[in-house]
Structures are given as C-alpha cells and as structure tokens.
Structure 1
Amino acid sequence: MPDKEATARIKINKLLEAAGWRFFADGSAPANIRLEPSVTIKSTDLDALGANFEKSTKGFVDFLLLDAKGFPLLVLEAKAEGKNPLVGKEQARKYAKSQNCRFVMLSNGNLHYFWDLERGSPYVITSFPTPDSVTGYQKVTPNPQRLIEEQVGEDYIVRTQRPNYAAEAAWQNEAERPGYIQVNKLRFLRPYQLKAIHSLQTAVGDGKDRFLFEMATGTGKTLTAAAVIKLFLRSGNVRRVLFLVDRLELEDQAKKSFNDVLSTDYQTVIYKENRDDWRRAEVVVTTVQSLLFNNKYQKMFSPTDFDLVISDEAHRSIGGNARAVFDYFIGYKLGLTATPRDYLRRFDCANAGTRDPREAERRLLLDTYRTFGCENSQPTFRYSLLDGVKEGFLINPTVVDARTEVTTTLLSEEGFVVSFTDDAGEDQQQAFKQREFEKRFFADTTNQLLCKTFLENALRDPVSGEIGKSIIFAVSQNHAAKLAQILNQMADRLFPAKYQSDFAVQVTSQIPDAQQFTINFANNNLLGSGNFIPTYKTSKARICVTVGMMTTGYDCTDILNIGLFRPIFSPTDFIQIKGRGTRKHDFRAALFDDTIKEGVQQPIKTAFKLFDFFANCEYFEEDFNYDEVLKLPPSKGKGSDDGGGQGPVVVGGTYEHLGADILASMRVEEITAEGMKIDRMFFEKFEDVVRANDTVAAAVEAGQWDRVIDYVNREVFDKPEEYYTLDKLRKAAAVDRRLTLREILEKVFGLIPRFKSKDELLEEEFSKFVADRVPEPPSAIPAIKTYFKAYVTSNRVRDIIDSKHFTDLATNPFFTTRDFRDVPQQYRTLVPEYIKDYVSLNQFAP
C-alpha cells in the first residue's frame, strides 16, 4: 500500500494528465512538465512516479510546467497528503521568480491552490487549469489601480454606443436631443447606477474581489452589469467575462442587452451556440444549469478561463449545487439580486417546518451573501424599491385585497400543507398535492368569481380605454388554460365583436412559441395590435396567463395589472412577480396620432394594481396595509361555519372553496400483487413508452423540462395499463438514494450516462465544503469527511449531534465515539451548521 507521499504524488500526476499536461512527448507535442534536477523519471507509468515523492533535500518536489514554446509558465509545488499545501508557499514563490514564472500551484493531492503572484493570495481550485487556459490568462496584466481610477460618468456606456455623440448637431441642439437619444437608443447611467459602480471601485481599492449589488427589479441591473464589464475589460483587469443566468430564455435577453450597448467594443456570445469558438468573445452568456449538468463546467472549462464571473439573480443561479460552478473559476465575482435578505428578518428559522419554502429561501440568501463576502448582510451596493419610488424611477403597486376568508385558509398552518412545487415536480407527493389543489379549490365557479372581480376592477389603458395589459399567475398549466378560457368568454360579453378568443392567452411551456409570445406581448403585437385605435400600437391580447415564465427578467413597462390567482410562498417569486409592474411608462410613445395625443389625460404610468386573492402581501409583510379592499360575494350552498355564515360548498364531489377538512384530500391505494412487480423490465418498459412519445421527446430536445415533467405526471403516470409512478421507478432503478423524475428522464434520453450514487453526491458536496472552508489541519480531512457524510445520511447521527447526547455514539455502528474524537473541535459545530445552510438532505434519502 503506497504511503501518503506516494498517494499524493499519484493523485497530482493524474490531475496534471487530465488537464492536458504531459510528462512525456506525445507525437509532435513535446513534454511540458519538467521536474527538479534531483528527481528522475524512468517509467511512463504515472503510478510509479510516486516513488521519489518528497525525497529531495528541500522537503518537497517542484514541477515546472512549460508553455507551448518550452518556456517556464507555472510552478507546481507538491506536498504529502497530511501537509498543508501552503507550507512551502514562500519557497515556491522564490523558485517561481527565479524561473520568471507568474503562476504557482500548491497541492497535496486533495487540496489545491492557484496563485497569480501579480494578483494577490492563493485561490482554492478543484481542478488543474489547462496549458492553453493558463497561457491565455497570462495575457491579462492586472492593475487594480487602473480600475479604481477609471472615470465612470453617466455617458460611460454611451461613449461605447456612439463615441462621438457629443459633437453631433442633433445632440447639441437641446430641442432635438430627446429624439436623438430615442432614435439611437442611447443608455445613460442613472445616478444610483453610477453609485453602484463607484462602490465597486471603492471595494477594489479595499482589496476585495467579490461584490454584491442588491437592486430592486426594474432598476437596470443588466445595464449596470454592462458598465461593470466595460470597466474591467477597458482597464485591462480581465480578459473574458462569464455571465450566468438562471433560465434559458434569459440567455437571449442578456446577449441582446449587451450587444445593444457594448457590441462596438466587445463581442458577446451564448455558449451553447458557440461551443467551438466561445474563446473569441469577451463576454460568454450561459445558464448555470447547463454548466452544472453532468459537471460540464469541469469538462469544458478551465479554472482560469474567466477572470470575472457575474451571476444574475445571484441567489438563484448560485444556490445549492450551482455554487460549485461559481466558485470553480478564479478571479473577480459579482452577484446581482433583487431579493433583499431583509425580507426574511421576521422569519423564525429555528421553528420553521422543513417544508416551509422560506427555509429554502433563507439558505439561498445566506449562501449568496456569504459567497460574495457579505457575511454582515451589507451588500456592496443596495438600492431598494422604496429608493426607486422615492427618487421617481419606479412605481409602488396599489395592492388590491380581493380575498375571501376561504381562499386565505391556504395560508393557515393547516392549509399550508397543500403546498405545490414548481413545474419541475421534484417530489411526487407534492406533485400529487398540486393536482389536488387545483381540482378541489379551483372549480369553475371559483375561477369565474376571481376573473370577474379582476376585470371589473382592473386599471384601463389611458389611451384606448381597454383593459390595461395584465399578467395573471396561475397554479399550474392546466389552471392557466382554464383561466384563459373563462377570461375570453367574459371578454366576448364585455366587448362584443372586439375579440375572437384572443383577449387572454395562455403563456406556459406547454404552448408552442410561448417564449415568442412573451416577446410579442412586450413589443405590443401579441395576436395583433391597435384593436381599439388603429394608430395606437398596443397588444390586441390584453392578458397573459402564466405559471412562472414571465417572472425573472421579463421587461414589459406598460403592464398595469398583475393577478395573483394562487398563493406564493417564496419571497423571491413574490418580489419578482411584483416587479413586473414597477417600471414607468409613457403610453404616448406608441400613439401615432398627434391629435389624440393631446387629449390623453394621464399619459404617464403612475400606478399599477396587484390583485392579491390569497393575502400574499400579508404573508410577507406583517400587518400589511392594503391600498384597496374588495369584498367578494359569499358563496352559495349548504353548510355553515362556526360563525353561522356560509361554509364550504360541495358540488359533484368538488370543493368550491377550501373547507376545514383538508385531510379529505388523502388517497388510499390498495397495492395488488401485480403492482408490486418492480424490476428492471418495468423500468425498461417505461423507457420505451416515453421515448416513443413525440411530445415528450420534442420537449426534452428543446430543454423544456417543466413541460416534460407536467406532461409525464398528467399523461403517463397513474394510468391503469401499467400504473407507472415515481416511487416504482425509483425502486426499479435500484439506486441507493431518492431520484427525481427529471433525473430519470435524463437517463432515459441519454443525457446522463448513469445515475450518480449517494456516495458520489456526498463526495461532490464535501468537495464544495473543502473549497469553501479549507479545513485545518489538512491531515484531519479524512475524519471531517467521515463526520460530514454521517451527518448528511443518518437521521440517528443528526439527532445525537443536534441534541448533544454524544455518549449515544458509543453504541452507534455508523459513526462511533472514536470517529467523533478524531474530528477537530471547531468542525464538530461547523459541519452541522454548514450542512443545514447549504446541503439538501432530500436527495440522500433512500
């Protein structure tokens, strides 16, 4: 059995080889690894190269890694597994300087650092960089002082869009200037956007390399990010920028935004469209999910490929496993978020149930602030909705309390049990409850009542007088279809001959071209335009009914009404949905008849209505004061409540409203002998069924996972022919943990080669912990790993540790008293705290 020195050396050798470094010539490619003179290589077997490890008089072995021309590029210092790689830091620095090398790597086989001697301190990495990547990284000569001293004024972006704008006659003529700005789409930075950039420059001056901008929806985070990108590129402090988004449709939107303002100087590409030549661009846009899928970020990129990583909607795009992607790359990090941590200030996490969505949000927000170096909850820059309203850039909603005592029962402790997942349907039990939620609490009469209330009280378009453009958020895709149908029927009666079932449109992933629908709605040509006034360009379709497509990043400034036709339990979702209406708008811009323009009474948008049928505002804001209270008419039917009024109505076995007997939604299923025959043949038959389904196959190919999950739950599961269920498929897959439906479908369609085992996922989670917390001393890493895995996977171990009944470990076969003693004192508390904040235990359940 090899000793610790040889084991570490073997690991390092293989990491070098995996990154493209060569001990021996390979065809026309020469070797690019040189060992110090006292160490010789006599074998091409990398395992045999561990024999001379740490035998030099200096106590360590230096690797000298060469560039394509054979010149020294990087020094790698290798230490034994039990030693801290930083021990020989200064000696490595001295050797690197003697070889005229700017870069140093320090490794003990388990823990690795990359050190740019011109940039600061060593940075933890999880993979070794490739030769080409380090060579490219070398082209950037960092000079933070240039970045700090760069003059950033309100025309910083405009000088890229149109460098000589100030000398043009149309700009110099004040009367022509507004039209000139509009025609050329010039983007001047607002005062608060300038403050954000100046705050970042100050932070760089303080030696920081991680920043967080907390800016309300509608305040131009993307434009601010564009200015930051220009600042880093122009000052020569970065060579390439990675811009991470959390949804596929936001890739195109980000690329378009950056092209509009930066294309004169810098090129932006979407990674999936430029897999072979993304290196030619200065800005690369991608979703974090695509990089995380099958660990693509480690296979396709080197840690030194991007000098600046920007995370849009940071706490979504770096939450959970996604943080590994973000931390993988060396260099500056900027997070953008519209969700203030203050939103959870009254949330008692200690007494929260494990199914309370706010607990998950708390974890994400904690992760976000800590990742960006803001442990004190103070971001680099903060600009709230109230700031925007106060300074005249944003609009506060008029919140309409349009609830009944029955609909808000869902927000009680009892009703909350009927929670629902998003379209991904990660947990079958919750997916089942989602269907029950829709079936029992959204019967036709209830939906008609809500739609009628919405239409009678909605704000009208100030130019045409028709219902103002609106977005309604439904429970599910099926519920969205139902609401759109009811709204169109009502529009026929309210506006005879004006609409042909195009008043309301379902915009969900099930609908072909749904993404284009959202674009057309913003561009005022969804199913036509100018329906009331031919010279007024406003969308003929007035209401988009969606589930979650039009939340994050959707920019449609003339929205006048937002309808919450479902309870919302996520602070992020609530803020994003509310933010769809906060932007200002001049309705005259779309009117091409000057005689009508003069008669428009209130052309500037000064308000929008947020219809709250489920007391969502009260859920997030203690004792929320509603601007407008609408009392819905009482339901009719038999039954009574404790107050002697009308109780729940039952029609044909369906509840018009939620009654107190929530447990009536439980379903008892008798499992026959035939139903228990779960084996590999069962799983393979399921594979054949879904692969043969054109709808599923097309949606998978398009990456429309919410559509896939929804379809399989509705059309494939629980059918009498085979009675496929997620639980049966999990058992048939014979994996030692809980699989999600998406994982199963990814395997069916060949998107992943196999299911990762519980231990593989544990190794990934522990690697993130090591990269984040850098355990000391390194020799304790094995003991800490054993503790980490035991706490994640064993309910009994968690109970013992959390209750501090440590003597019970003496009889615990999984994690013993001796194991616990081997864990350094500070990590006995740190590991559980970390896991509670950053690790989802559900995926490790059997």
Structure 2
Amino acid sequence: MNIDGILKATIADNHLSEEDIKSRYIQPNIESKGWDKDHMRLEYAYTAGRIIVQGSLKHRKKGKRCDYILYVEENYPIAVVEAKDHNHLPADGMQQAIDYARDLKLPFAYATNGEQFVEYDMNSGKQRTLEMNEFPTPAELKEREHKYLIEKEHLTPEGEALLNIPYYTDNDSFPPRYYQRIAINNVIKAVACGKRRMMLVMATGTGKTYTAFQIIHRLHQSEGINRVLYLADRNILIDQTMRQDFKPFSKFMTKVQGKDAGTSAEIYMSLYGQWVRNETELKEGKTHPYLDYPKDYFDLIVVDECHRSSVVEDKQYHQILDHFDHAIQIGMTATPKCVPGADNKEYFKEVVFEYSLKQGIADGFLAPFRVTKSFINYDLSGYLPEADEVDLKGFKIEPDKFERYEFGKMVNILERQKVVAHRITEMMKVVGRMTKTIVFCPTQEEALLMRELLIDMNQDMMKRNPNYIVRITSDDRVGKALLDDFIDPYAKYPVIATTSDLLTTGVDCKTCALIVIDKEVGSDTTFKQMIGRGTRIFEKKDKMSFEILDFRDATTKYLDSIFNGDADEDEDYKKRRKEKPGNGDGPGGDGGDGPGGDGPSGGDEPKKYYVEGKEARIVHEMVQIIGEDGRTMRTEKLTDFTRRAIKNMYPTLDAFRGAWAQADKKEAILKEMEEHDVFLDAVKEEVPQMADYDYFDIICHLAYDQTPLTRKDRARKVKESSYLDKYQGKARQIIEGLMDKFGETGVTDIENPLILKLDPFASIAKRPMILKGIFKSQDDYNKAVKELEEELYKVI
C-alpha cells in the first residue's frame, strides 16, 4: 500500500462540502470509466430503519445508506464507494465501505476523499491505493470477480451467462430488497457453479415467495431449465402464491388437481401428497403418480416450508425428490429442522443464504414485538385433585398432580380458561378491539371453548358482527372458510381467530398484531412459526409492531434463539409426550391441527378430565421489549431505561443544560434523543402526572433528580418578573401569547413560526407583519423567542 499517497496533504479545496467533492471530483472520475447512470446508484438506502416502540408511540430510526453502489448489470451490483471531503484522508471511509460491502455481499469496497481512491478486495483481503484516473472499469471488475469464481467456486462458461439474466420487471413489479437480491443472486451463483441442492432460510414476512419467483424466473429463462415443480404442503400456500407473487407465470403455470399433473405446463404448483399414494391405495395395486414421469422430467424443484416434512416417517416429499434427482432442488423455510432424521440442512447440503428474524427487525423490514408473560396460579403450582374428586362427566380423577403442559390436553380447568379469555379481552381494550388476533390453543376442542368464552366476554363486539370471533381449524369447515377474510388486510372481520395449529405456517396475515400463546410449544421451529404470524409490517393500516401474550412461558426458552441462534427441541417436552401417551399428541399435537386429544378414547377411562369450581387467577406478569441493542430483551421500566439512556448522552446536569441552552431548536435535541431510543411522549403516556411538564423538566427530573415545574408554573414566574417590561404594545402581546402557548403545549410549539398563523397572534397582526414589522425582521423575532426560552428555563 502506498502510505505516502494516503498521507498526502489535502489542503486544497478543504472548504468544500462532501457533496461538492462528490460532484466535482469523485463522480466525474467514476463516470469517465464507463459507470454511467444505469450502472450507478447514488445515496443508496438499503435498510428501512429499525422501528422503536415505546408505549403506543412508534418511530423509525435512520436506515443504512451508502454514497454509491456500482452495477455491472442491473441485477449484478459489484462495488460500494464511500466518499469523504478533503478534510479527511483517502482511506478514512474504508471501514464504512467494508461494512457496507459485507452487508450487501459485494466483492469490492472503495473509499475516497476526491484526491485518491483506496480499494479493498473482499475476496482476497488485499488493499491498494489508486489515483483518481485509475478507477477500474465495469469490465475490469467483472473480469476479476469471475476469475475468482472460476478459480474458487468452479464457475462454468454456461454459468457465466446465467449470472447476466435479469430480474423480472413490469409496471406492477418492484425491485428486490437488498437481502432478497443477495438470496436470489446466491442461488443463481450456486447453480452457475454447478451445485444441485441448496436451501434458503428467510424469516417469516421477508418475502420468501417473491424471492422464489425471481429465482424461478431467472433460471427458467436459461437454457436447460424448462419444467419447474413447486411443492408445498397446504392448499393456501399454493393458492396465495399463484394469486400473488407468481401471477406473471399464469400463462404457463398450472395447479395440479388430484393425482394427475398432466404434461402441458411449464411450472407445476402442487401439494407433495398429490405425487404419492397412501398405504391403502398401494395395497390396491396403485402406484405413486411420480413414477409416471421420467426421472429427468423436472429441471428445477422448489420446496416451500421445507421444514415441515422433509425426512419424516412417511418420507413423502423425500420420495419425490429422490425420484426427480436430476432436478436442481431448492428448499425454502423460515425455520429449518436440525434434528436427527429430519435435518433439512443435511439433505439440501448447503444454506446459500440466511436472513433471520433478528436481522429483519434490526433492518426495519419486520415488526418488533412486546411480550407480556402471564403466570396463572395453577400453571405455577400444578393442579392436584382432591381425594375421590369426580370431573364434570362423572369420571373419577386420578390422584396425580397435573402440570401446566397437561392443561388442555389431559385436563381442562374451566376457571383457568376463563382467566385466559378475560386477560385477552383486557389486552384488546389496550391495543385496540379491532386488532387482528390469533389465539393458539392446545387442541381444536380447546379452540372452540376459548371462542365461546371470548364471545361471552365480548358480546358488545359480537352484536356488531357475528364473525368478530371465530375458530379457524382444519375440522371447522365454516371457520376455515373465513380464513381468506381474516388474512385480508382490508377486511374488518373476523378479528379474533382461535386455532390449534392451522395458522402457524404460511398464512400471510399482514395486520395480525396480537399473538396469544396458550399451548405448549415443543420446539424453536414451532415457536418462530407462531410469532411469524405477527412479524409483517403494514404501514397503510399503522401495523408497525405486535404484541405477544404468553400464558405458557414459551418465550423464556425460545426468544433467546431469535437473538442467539436456533434452540434445540425441548427434551423435557419430548420426554413427557412419550411417557404420557394419553396426552393428546395425536394428529394435532404440536405439529398438526388434528383433534389432538379431544373426545373419548374408548373404555371406562377418559382421555381428558373436565373440572370447574376452582379459584384461578393471574399471580404475576412480566413485560419485555427488544432492547436498544436490537439483540436482547429488556424488562426494566421505561422510566429507568430513559434515565440511563439520557445520562449516557449527557452524564451531568450541566452538560445537558449547556446543550439545551445552545440548541437553536430544542426539537433537535429531542430528535437526537429519539435516535438513542428516548421517547419522552411515551414516558408521559406511562406516567400521566408528567403530562403537564415540559420536556426540559421531564429530562431533569428523570435523569438528574431535579424537582420539576409545570409549564404553567414556568410561564407564570416569567410573567411575574420584570422580563416583560422590555416590550411594549403588540410586541408585548406577542411575547405574552408565546408564554401562554408554552404553558399549554410546551417549547416545540413556540419555536415553530407557523404558530403565528393561529390565535391569539392572528388577531393581533398577520404573520408577515409580526416578523417584519412588529419585530423588524425574522432574525429579531427568532432572537426574542430564544431570549424568552432562556428566561423560562432559568428557574430549576
């Protein structure tokens, strides 16, 4: 590296701003090398900005943005350029550039101050300095990248052509987000380098289906990939996909009906069960439908939600994949299984891209959440039947203690369920009674009971619409028919859906903002699928976050996996299922929506006891939200967090008061605090007695233990002083009016000159006359406001 060059003095033009340097020196040199406007993106914002929720207030932080992204093709970004002004060394922006390149998976990172470029090759780890006229051309960077792929990844000549195939675009389409582009390009690159099996892991709500569409489109445009099979395990997944993201394929796409796929289509949408026979059919001499097709019939197979059945006992889609082993096979899931006998990663060989729920929340593409853990007395202590106790159906209850994991499966305690239903109702009064809500219950029968209890507690809402509360389960034909309305973001009803498992996977419910967990959760996979129903953002309906109400303490074990990698399946849960065969872990269980323990099992012994007359209550609750680091959950009070965050910014009272006094606009300090997750309006919401205090007093009180004054007290003290004596006539009236406005609403309103359009100011004079007549000039008016603020804040 040329140290002398990097340390070259950069005195000339050091008065120019960064934007001046970019327009005068950086961009012309880059453009001269062939990077025209079609191959360059300026001020490229690639994340949306994390959503912060404090109380009922929601705020987006600034997203990540880089100065330049350079493309060799529309779908092929290759380099990032970070610019600085002449007061910096050429390499000062290199760490930023490397961070952006790492995020965006780009092979080259550049930093410059307009006098030299510094290049970092992400593949080789080498750094070098270039003169301004030595910046590489698109062809040079493309050749270097392809050389690396040929040497290290075995890129073939045919594969090189594949990399250049563009995305699908039309007037209604939108470009991929940065992580979707990486996912698409990584799959295309893997295929171009000769790989045949691969997996994408993308959190629920991040656009797996759209990503699959672009992958299929690009591969389908290439030579040798003519027929595509798209496999899923539920009709709703197929129907949603065909109606939405795959709609451009409609002319050459078909949905397989029954067991006959036909041979006329190019893209086949199918349930994997349609390609196999059950045991009865096989005994009748029928053969698996997939055997009617040659092994090389399909060139590409995409398996959606591949965590659900890849290598389970029936081996259904495993048979299909083994038969069509000529095809490129891509598995897609939000939650891969990594357990013996059902390891998606082992089957698909390589995870070519992973985008986690944690990253989606940090980037602002997924909704953050707040967790309320409710602990019911019986859940903590268990339920021990009295001697010779008989249940509601007349069965003598075994004298064993029943633990929480058996509630709803082995025993139903009616009063416990009433407590759950009441807490859900109370929660909805806080978050909004028209908030789309999913209540996960242990079984379908329990989902029906929960619906009945919720109806009894929400009769006023049921009067408005009888579909306010519904059960949506596999055996409830009427409720299941309402599923499309429930997931429609513009349909008001149904609002509350009780279910066992039907809504855990693949249901795109953009406006669901309350997830209730009242069933045992036996794996990280199931937990992530359940809360994934709430992670989508839908800003048109102000859906920016969601709530989790947890009665089963599922969040204690599995929330950690969101931030620190996958958790193992709950060994205690698996052991309990094996030890208690009557616990209802049948077709419904933790992984299906079958009966799961409802109804009799034959003989004199019940499969489930029903008891009432018990005293159930919530004995403790805990609320957690995602911490300011975006990687952990915090349980401290909002006021405690706010105090700590403010003192991190301003360690002493003097430091804060100095910054407050020097700020031209106090709103600038408030905005800076918001970037550190301090939302004073949320504090006022949580502590109503602070509503009458100015932001200044709230800060001084919370962070520095100062006795606060109300806004009106501050205004009154200034009025009672001699301060107003310096003003006469209308000028005095204006200043007195500003004092009154401060007393009513606070400092940010009096700093806004548009307030002069309102009474009492508008009745005194028009705004231009106030600014340029009564106060001579706007600068004089601003000075008067600044002096008034200083006077208002003198007393502390």
**Bigger radius of gyration:** 2
What is the TM-score when the length of structure 1 is the normalising length? Answer: 0.43
Structure in which a larger fraction of residues adopt strand? 2
